[in-house]
Structure 1
Amino acid sequence: MSKKVLILSGDAVEALEIFYPYYRCLEEDIECVIASPTKKKLQTVVHDFISGVETYTEKPGYLLDSHASIDDISPEEFDGLIIPGGRAPEYIRMNPKVQEIAAHFLLENKPIGVICHGSLVLTTVRQYVQGREMTAYTACRPEVEASGAVYIEDPLYVDGNIVSGHAWPDLPGFMKAFFKVLTVEEAASV
């Protein structure tokens, strides 16, 4: 049985954090749908650390087509969810449908991968993450803790169905862990 993964994002998504998971899913013959507030060409951004600058910098990245509007997504049709970082999670998290989708994956114990600022989406459904452990980009720690979740300082962390990572340098381990959780779900349903 082929798996189907949803990537929730929008403009200003960190380029590596959306392209890497998307292409890795395709390499594993996993159907992958990118959904954004409106079906459109997304403007990605590139975050990097430059000597002498106390925070990350942001530059325009590649354009990437989203496949669907978030409003047209039925989360029941998907086996896993990935929420990349960048600034996109700051604004998509306010969309009630995004909150509904995140809640569905948490309630149904389906695999969720959040990297960097992607954790901000989960903080809007705090009733489902209270007491859960996750990591995120360090600047997101206050929001993770305010949601009732426990912030873990490790660059990669797995708590049941939630796979979380600090940032794009952690993508190889993040995707390995996500695929492992996705496979465990498959083995349990057989």
Structure 2
Amino acid sequence: MSKKVLIVTGDAVEALEVFYPYYRCLEEEIDVQIAAPKVKKLNTVIHDFEDWDTYTEKRGYGIEAQVSFNEVNPSNYDALIIPGGRAPEHIRMHQPLLDIVSHFFIEEKPIAIMCHGSLVLTPIAEVVKGRKMTAYHACKPEVESMGVHYVDEADYVDGNLISGHAWPDLPAIMRAFIKQVNQLTVKP
């Protein structure tokens, strides 16, 4: 039986932060599903670091969400990925998502969070209070407001929590995530 990874996101997810982990899991023969507020083709965005003080945004490829947050039983998954982009701003308003994410923290399953994905945690700060993580530098105030120690490193591992600044950190984030997933014992 294959290991199962859940990616939670929505419209305006950063394209590289959803596609790279999705295909990386498939490459490892890990069963991976994308969950969103509803089953649909999601609109992705491309954030780039050009000559601005912040990132720019362009429209990206579409990607299918196979399951809605309401349909997810988090006990059926071994690990979780929360990509960034602007999606975290609105998906964190869905209580079923917050229940899903809380499950992974409570059960200490591997969790990879990239960039603005840290915003998903703000309504459930109690599950991350006292932890250490990194995120896109503009998310530092939200991370610290949850009682989390913000680590100013490109990627950081705190037990089962793997976090990164942005899409350029994906190789290190996914290397640490895949290592943790591959060390799991699959339940029959």
Which TM-score applies when normalising by structure 1? 0.96
Corresponding position of 2:5: 5
Equivalent residues, number: 188
Q: Supply the AA of the counterpart residue of 1:158.
A: V
Q: In structure 2, what is the equivalent of residue 111 of structure 1? A: 110
CA–CA separation in structure 2 for the residues paired with 1:184 and 1:93: 29
What are the residue-to-residue correspondences of 1:110-129 with 2, within 5 Å?
Answer: 110-129=109-128
Q: What is the alpha-carbon distance in structure 1 between the residues aligned to residue 84 and residue 158 of structure 2?
A: 19
CA distance in 1, matches of 2:174, 2:185: 16
Using the TM superposition, give the Cα deviation of residue 128 of structure 1 relative to its aligned residue in structure 2, in angstroms: 1.0
Q: Which digits, 9 at most, give the CA deviation of each residue in 1:120-139, with x for residues without a partner?
A: 11222111101100000001
Q: 2:46 corresponds to which residue? A: 46
Give the corresponding residue for 1:15.
15
Q: CA deviation at 1:94?
A: 1.2
Distance 1:148 1:102 in 2: 17
2:145 maps to 146
Look up the match of 2:168.
Answer: 169
Q: CA deviation at 1:180?
A: 1.4
TM-score of the aligned structures, taking structure 2 as reference length: 0.97
Q: Deviations over 1:167-190 (max 9, x none)?
A: 000001110000112223339x8x
Unaligned 5+ runs, structure 1:
none
Query: After superposition, where does 1:64-143 map in structure 2 within 5 Å?
Result: 64-143=63-142
Distance across 2 between alignment mates of 1:138 and 1:97: 28
Distance in 2 of aligned mates of 1:165 and 1:178: 11
- Using the TM superposition, give the Cα deviation of residue 54 of structure 1 relative to its aligned residue in structure 2, in angstroms: 1.4
CA deviations 1:37-94 (Å, max 9, x no partner) are 010010000000121x211110100011110111100000000000000000011011
Cα separation, 1, equivalents of 2:185 and 2:161:
16
1:123–1:129: 8 Å Cα contact kept in structure 2?
Answer: no
Gaps of 5+ in 2: none
CA RMSD across the alignment: 1.4
More off after superposition, 17-26 vs 177-186: 177-186
Amino acid at match of 1:7: I
CA distance in 2, matches of 1:118, 1:132: 15
1:159 matched residue in structure 2: 158
Deviation beyond 2 Å, 4+ runs, structure 1:
183-187
